[in-house]
A and B are shown apart, each in its own frame.
Chain A
């Protein structure tokens, strides 16, 4: 079990009623999928807002950043960087720049 730091975009912090970073206990390999599973288990209101309910695909205007890299197009079961897995760096879930 490792403790992961996640930064949510403002609208999802409001929806989940959290402030600042979220910390999540993740079992097994630290991947996009395992972190999002833990996030949705802790905050069920976020189900469907980051990834599709059924296909579990990332929503088009959501991005995953960490360690100054865009990890959005990495496979969901690819391991996240060590710095995220150790809690040294957060995983950033970001609303893409898309006008409006």
Chain B
């Protein structure tokens, strides 16, 4: 019988929640890496026991952790005795080293971005927001980082190299949003290994069609009339999250700072599908595992009031690819609820019926085993949830 494994990143550690395919009874284990911020954990589609985790701390910086046994044990890659020695006989310990590429042929021409005060600031690594393992190779994994850049490891996380061409896509115009200038979404095209989408706050969506060497902004149709002096600018839009169904990689959905958007041409153009949502501000967006036109968002009142409107926690579902949305409330608190759901904190499994999961800044993780019709909390009192991923296991 199938089972599911949830990988939960929180402000104070990681938790692993497991259930059989009924998704009624859950085992909760953790915290792993207690006391550290776990921005994201994700499993390799090619080897479900291979997990990657981003462990960070304002005190001690970035650590990358890897598990090869489904989360039972973890090691920072490249720190086992047999991994240690570099050519000079000294230990390498480079799994947490994210150096921006300044070589002449790649990143050197661009070393600054716009800061809040309009000055140019050099890129400075702060943390890994998102880890996206390759769909085919367990040792290949992408890391989206703050200050915004994309790194790739091809040795299981032991060493990282920046795909510096991304910063050439008008990087001097990117600037941090309130959460920092972070590359928070990495989407690999299942049908085209050369195509990758990334999303950056506050810069927008970018696409490569040559495996990460060159990139261009794909933000036409986005409008940010209250955030940008030029509402239709090429870059600068505060994209919160993008999502796709693997069977239709040209159809993208976006939760922007304000506006829920859709593209039917791989990001070449976008149009708004907010429709009848009570507010079109929010963070996560997800697509049903078996119905490519069924989309989920969690509306949040506004950019300064990061909680659900009217104190009612409602997931909204569109079965028409946007425009027409219905509130899903069964099992969710409908009074006095003032939590937020962050951009990486919603996931869908691939069972039938499709399961949905999201975590809140109040430490609840809610699950639905019926496509969102009804919900129940798995846990109620974790630290603030930063990320939720789910693995559907055979």
Confirm or deny: B58 has a beta carbon within 8 angstroms of a beta carbon on chain A.
Answer: yes
Asked if B60 and A47 sit within 8 Å, CB to CB, the answer is: no
* Complexed CA–CA distance, A59 and B126 (Å): 12
Min C-beta distance of B83 to chain A, whole Å: 8
* B147 to A: closest C-beta gap in Å: 15
Once A and B bind, how many residue pairs between them come within 8 Å at the CB atom? 62
Which residues does chain A contribute within 8 Å of B63, judged by CB atoms? 15, 45, 49
Q: Which residues of A contact B78 (CB under 8 A)?
A: 44
Q: Which of B56-110 contact A (CB under 8 A)?
A: 57-63, 76, 78-79, 84, 90-97, 99
Contact indicator A41/B59 (Cβ below 8 Å): no
Name the distance in Å between A54's Cβ and chain B's nearest Cβ.
7
Most buried by A among B36, B59, B78, B90: B59
B91 touches A48 (CB 8 A): no
Taking A11-B35, A11-B36, A44-B84 as contacts, is the C-beta distance between A98 and B59 under 8 angstroms?
yes
B61 touches A59 (CB 8 A): yes
User: Which of A40, A46, A47, A95 is close to B59, meaning CB atoms less than 8 Å apart?
Assistant: A95
B57 and A48 contacting across the interface, CB-CB below 8 Å: no
> Smallest CB–CB gap between B103 and chain A, Å?
15
Selected from A47, A96, A100, the residue in CB contact (under 8 A) with B94 is A47
- Asked if residues B60 and A100 are in contact (CB atoms below 8 Å), the reply is no
Q: Contact check: which of A9, A47, A54 meets B96 at CB < 8 Å?
A: A47
Count of interface residues, chain B, beta-carbon cutoff 8 Å: 22
Q: When A44-B79, A44-B84, A48-B97 are in contact, do A59 and B92 touch as well, CB less than 8 Å?
A: no
Main secondary structure, interface of B, reads: loop
Q: Mark A21-42, 1 if CB is under 8 A from B, else 0.
A: 0000000000000000000110
Question: Which chain A residue lies CB-closest to B78?
Answer: A44
Question: Judging by beta carbons under 8 Å apart, are A11 and B97 in contact?
Answer: no
What's the Cα separation between A38 and B36 when bound, in Å? 25
Question: Does A62 interact with chain B (Cβ within 8 Å)?
Answer: yes
Known: A11-B35, A45-B76. A53 touches B57 (CB 8 A): no
B62 pairs with A48, CB closer than 8 A: yes
Q: A11-B35, A44-B91 are in contact. Are A49 and B79 (CB under 8 A)?
A: no
Residues in chain B near residue A61, CB distance under 8 A: 58-60
In-complex Cβ contact of B99 among A44, A45, A54, A96 (8 A): A54
Considering the chains assembled together, what is the distance between the CA atoms of A49 and B55 in angstroms?
A: 12
Q: List 24 A-B contacts (CB under 8 A).
A: A9-B59, A11-B60, A12-B60, A15-B60, A15-B63, A40-B93, A44-B78, A44-B91, A44-B92, A45-B63, A45-B76, A45-B93, A47-B94, A47-B96, A47-B97, A49-B61, A49-B96, A53-B94, A53-B99, A54-B99, A59-B61, A95-B59, A96-B59, A100-B58
Beyond A45-B95, A47-B91, list 7 extra A-B contacts (CB 8 Å): A11-B35, A44-B79, A46-B93, A50-B60, A61-B58, A61-B60, A95-B59
